[in-house]
Structure 1
Amino acid sequence: MKPVEIYTTPICGFCSAAKRLLDGKGVDYREIDVMRDREKKQEMMQRAGRHTVPQIFIDGQHVGGCDELYELERAGKLDPMLTA
């Protein structure tokens, strides 16, 4: 399985929903809490070009936030991205 990184905060419902989808698929991911670490938030904004959480990367490729993750799932494209 390809590496997954997800930038989150502990109070974000969209972050929880994205993690729930990944957990349901048995995906291991590296969670990066940007609420407690300003440098990590800056890193996220540089990588994603966005300031909202979650921001999700699969194998270093930015796939977007929670809505985009669920759209990939609905379109049947998430599993191939995780394993291809």
Structure 2
Amino acid sequence: MPKFPSPCIGVCKFKREGHCIGCSMTKTQKSMGKKLKKPKERAAFLQLVMAQQEVMGRYTHWRLAFGRRCEKKGLKVPKLRGD
């Protein structure tokens, strides 16, 4: 399983009820995500962030920015499970 980059896109402004306006993660989620080492854990965390973005809306720029980061590693952006 390929190692995907962090869902963080480097904006880090927590202005939406404690969620980052760039990636939708909270500070707790960001620190939790950094501690995950196993590929399955990282993949599940990425799915969580992607689902969170779908529910919260207005994070359309994230997919493009994250997609560029994935392309640099030769990866395709994973699809949200259930899509």
Normalised by the size of structure 1, how large is the TM-score? 0.27
User: Which of structures 1 and 2 has the larger relative contact order (alpha carbons within 8 angstroms, sep 6+)?
Assistant: 1
Normalised by the size of structure 2, how large is the TM-score? 0.27
Which has the larger share of strand? 1
